Structure 1
Amino acid sequence: MPETCSIRAFAPSDAEYAALAAIGASTPPQFALDYEFRDAADWREFDESFAQAGRALTRYMAACDGVPAGYAYAFEVDWAPPPGRFWCVLRVRPEQRGCGVGARLYDRLLADLAGRRAAGLLIELDDSEAALRPALERRGFRAQLQSWAFVLDPRACDPSRFAAYAKLGGLTIATLADEIARGADWLPPLHQLYALVAGDVPIPIDPHASPPPEWLEHQAIGLPESLPEAFFVVRDGERYAGMSFLHANGPGRLFQRITAIHPAYRGRGVAMALKLATIEYARAHGCHEIRTAVESNNPSMLAINRKFGFEQREGLTLFERALELPG
């Protein structure tokens, strides 16, 4: 057990960002929570996005015997009502667990948020950390939804069984690479589509309700894992009715990111057609895995993934605690 453990407010510096990265990297990447990173540059970019948006981000660091041991941070959820709820992330290095570090970080963060009249807290718990569930429940947290990983070996899927879903009655499926090649002004309308449906997603990729168009452009063509030829769109003339895209996720592996369908086109098989297109891409490029994540409050996408043979795997639970505001 450490002799001394201190909690302090995060102070941006190279050393502090290096500490964040070391703590974030102390857990296997498949168990990392949303908005949690393993690289100092990613932490800086995350913080800068809040500064640019003019949004508050509160973070505390723990050190045991002078060694960085954990962090806790929170920001207000702005992508879905009601207001006053704060997204919280807490991480303690494995070798420092069981010493009360997590409890002290939580208490410090809770005191800060209570002073800001927070109405509620949201926190994720990975299935691998199920032993911590009783501690959350003792503190008043209740499970709200689950998010599961779904995995498919596209080589075992026969797309011909789903060929009927590729017929969209006048709608056209294209890739972003095709759109760029024909000179389409793709970014503004696709960003508008994303912004239109972002509130439907309980755990969005980006923590801001209205990320700038440059964010979507970065996801689509600016990252090392970006695959514009695996970014599929559905067009109704020049109007985008839906989109779904894949990222490279290691040799032979793909991760399905955003699937967004314009409300006016839901119920017309657009999501099925996009899913089929991603599977056909994976098969054509010799991939052996497509991985995605689906929340328990999205029955239509759960049904689509199961229909295509995706296997449900590990996941996480989103917990919420309501806070009583002082009179």
Structure 2
Amino acid sequence: MTVTVRDLRPDAHADLEGFARVRHAALPFVLVTPESLAHDLTQMHRDAHYRPLVAVDDDGEVTGTAQVHLAHDSAVPGQGNVNIYVHPRHTRRGAGTLLLRAAEEHLTAHGATRLLAWVLDEPGNRAFAERHGFRASRSAHFLRLDLAHRELPPLQDPPPGVELRPGSAYAGDPRPLFELDAETTADEPSDVDIEFTDYEVWLRETWRHPLFDAELTTVAVVDGRPAAFTAARTDGATRYATGMTGTARAFRGRGLAKLAKNDSLHRARAAGYTEAFTGNDTGNEPMIAINKWFGYELCGTEVRYVRELG
């Protein structure tokens, strides 16, 4: 059977559905919908040179995917991201190699000097990365919480001077949340230092993203200032995820992030969501401990692989 690699067509519903189907089968811990894929393709910053690719078989069925882009929001130029996922029923047929070759050609043409890829911590996936010259770097866990059956910690009243607000309370002016997100993201463990400096880009890529749920996002406010938050993403059906949970440096050590996340989880369950997902760098032991306190269980691990070009 022949495998062909081509660009994802944003105006073709079958492509978007196929891409989402493959991602869900290969990586069920991350929320992806056809709407979120179309949004990323049309709204991601032009300097990212974002190019999603699909591998299709002779019948036109999408069997593999690649998300390919430059880390435009990094202070270090030339960092290229390529994340490849092949449907478990279609592995070992050459789709991954063809997707990687096309991704590398695209990123190199736009100045990439380094490739970074997340790879599931499974023997076949790691062997594929190492055969293509990548070396293992940091790792991260996926965690899942059964919202339908697992008891959550009881809700607690905020301490004096602290107020919990939904993210939607900032619909008129989200800039305070942008500033909080930028500060906490800068302190996240990563191979690539990310800097949120462009408010308009953040509005397009984060605030207006179809998966972002402003109503289920919770913000802990101290003296009128957003001090901690947990950002919610939902698929509009049964799956909920926290894309980021963090606290501004001046307010750390007071349990505000835990307070915000507990509030968001309770409201997500009340809204009918039955599964909650999150992810943590394996070295982020404090956050892993907090998530286990909520009842999250480890459901997968991925490893960041890196390859220098040239």
TM-score range, shorter chain: 0.7 to 0.9
Which of 198, 202, 220 aligns to 1:212? It is 202
Aligned length: 301
Which of 120, 123, 138 aligns to 2:117? It is 123
Which of 76, 83, 94 aligns to 1:100? It is 94
Counterpart of 2:77 in 1: which secondary structure? Answer: coil
Counterpart of 1:271 in 2: which secondary structure? Answer: helix
TM-score, normalised to structure 1's length?
Answer: 0.73
Structure 2 residue identity aligned to 1:171: V
C-alpha displacement of 1:136: 0.9
Distance in 1 between the 2:159 and 2:259 partners? 8
Distance in 1 between the 2:120 and 2:94 partners? 20
Counterpart of 1:108 in 2: which secondary structure? Answer: helix
Distance 1:67 1:103, change over 3 A: same
Distance 1:56 1:202, change over 3 A: farther
Distance 1:89 1:308, change over 3 A: closer
> Do residues 174 (structure 1) and 160 (structure 2) align?
no
Counterpart contact for 1:144–1:318, Cα < 8 Å? yes
Counterpart contact for 2:229–2:261, Cα < 8 Å? no
Where does residue 127 of structure 2 map in the other structure? 134
Where does residue 145 of structure 1 map in the other structure? 139
Return the index of the structure with the highest Cα Rg.
1
Deviations 1:199-230 (A, max 9, x none): 33468xxx9944333554435xxx588362x3
Counterpart contact for 1:168–1:268, Cα < 8 Å? no
C-alpha displacement of 1:249: 5.6
Which of 8, 15, 18 aligns to 1:22? It is 18
Distance 1:82 1:144, change over 3 A: farther
Distance 1:174 1:19, change over 3 A: closer
Where does residue 68 of structure 2 map in the other structure? 74
C-alpha displacement of 1:273: 1.9
Distance in 1 between the 2:237 and 2:59 partners? 39
The residue correspondences of 1:113-262 to structure 2 (distance < 5 A) are 113-127=107-121, 130-141=123-134, 142-151=136-145, 153=147, 155-159=150-154, 163=156, 167-176=158-167, 179=169, 185-201=172-188, 209=196, 210=198, 211-213=201-203, 215-218=205-208, 223=210, 226=213, 228=215, 230-248=216-234, 254-262=240-248
Structure 2 residue identity aligned to 1:262: A
Counterpart of 1:25 in 2: which secondary structure? Answer: helix
Q: Which blocks of at least 5 consecutive residues in structure 2 are unaligned?
A: none
> Do residues 273 (structure 1) and 244 (structure 2) align?
no
Structure 1 vs Structure 2: percent identity of aligned residues?
22
C-alpha displacement of 1:283: 6.7
Distance in 2 between the 1:79 and 1:64 partners? 35
Counterpart contact for 2:166–2:219, Cα < 8 Å? yes
Distance in 2 between the 1:130 and 1:245 partners? 33
Structure 2 residue identity aligned to 1:137: E
Which of 70, 76, 86 aligns to 2:80? It is 86
Deviations 1:105-150 (A, max 9, x none): 32233244344442221112235x5422112122232142213214
Distance 1:13 1:300, change over 3 A: closer
Where does residue 264 of structure 1 map in the other structure? 250
**Superposed CA RMSD:** 3.7
Distance 1:250 1:111, change over 3 A: closer
> Do residues 297 (structure 1) and 283 (structure 2) align?
yes
Distance in 2 between the 1:66 and 1:152 partners? 37
Distance in 1 between the 2:235 and 2:5 partners? 36
